[in-house]
Amino acid sequence: MSFVLRPALFAIDAERAHGLTIDMLAAWGATGTPLAPRPPALPVTVAGLTFPNPLGLAAGADKDGRAIAGFFGLGFGAVEVGTLTPLPQAGNPRPRLFRLAEDRAVINRMGFNNGGLAAALPRARAAKRTGILGINVGANKDATDRIADYESAVAAAAPIADHVTINISSPNTPGLRELQHGPALVDLLTRSAAARGTTPLFLKIAPDQEPAQIDEIARAAIDAGVDALIVGNTTVSRPTLRSSNAIEQGGLSGAPLAALAAQRLRDFRAATGGKLALIAVGGIDSGAEAYARLRAGASLIQLYTGLVYGGPGLPVQIVRDLAAFLARDGFASIEDAIGSA
């Protein structure tokens, strides 16, 4: 996970390179993250949780919670592991992860590959935390009752996580995004809210939404007592791309997603009327972009693909840039900047 190793990592299959990166971060975390950088303290409180800074690692990077301490060591104020399903599953056939280097982007069609909740939760419980730990849960592909899968997953993760995220936004499990609408959404949120106990519950939704769908999700989330919306996930749309891998099927993430993700943040800000905390993700790869999302209404921000191209120093650099922007603009805290644009 260093620029010294980046040429070697980029020379091999993307999924294998990702696995090696997780191995390195896990090993570093096991030694106590020596020489870890110290980002400035920029505390922000969301859902009753105080985050040491607003930058989080998005789900998908550490699916099985193997490198939690290592990712915290990079300077993240929050780490979200998963997506974890009740039972282990292999995911979609390989190859299923593709770099679009010319576009600073990635396409994936992983399909919730993970070792299951029972394997990951003990690692999450034992991990050293220097920030907020979220556990992102999903349904197994072959589940006969997907809402029951979410209900049981939330109940299992809630005693260990600082917050639990319901992920119904992946484009790589057929039919999953249908849970974002109609009676299924209401049923899912009602049952998951009952299963979470007192643990904050977040909902992760896709950026590929029409205005009526945005209003429907916002109303359902507020009515169910969801604590925050993560806006959003990868997109199945395709802006103009240069890489030959642009033809691959799956969800697109990285720099080309920034405009769509920023627009959806504004849309959900309007739809929720400030009644629900928003977490921005998608195309965030700099302090300037992170700051713009905060000022557009996000209380927190997350990234994953930005690390692929920005390297391990990116999290601390973003937090340092945020501190500089706050000072430049006369804001005393992150909360003062949220929604100020």
Crossing angle between the packed helical segments 117-126 and 146-157, to the nearest 10 degrees: 20
The label of the residue with tokens 């920034």 reads 258
* Cβ-contact 174, 139 below 8 angstroms: no
From 2, 152, 169, 170, the catalytic residue = 170
d(CA 174, CA 304): 23
Active site residue 243: no
Cis before residue 83, ω within 30 degrees of 0? yes
- Burial-class residue 187 by CB neighbours within 10 Å (0-12, 13-18, 19+): middle
CA 168 to the chain's CA centroid:
12
- Beta pairing class for 78-84 and 55-57: parallel
* Cβ-contact 162, 184 below 8 angstroms: no
- Nearest CA among 85, 138, 136 for reference residue 114: 85
* Cβ-contact 230, 279 below 8 angstroms: yes
Return the active site residues. 170
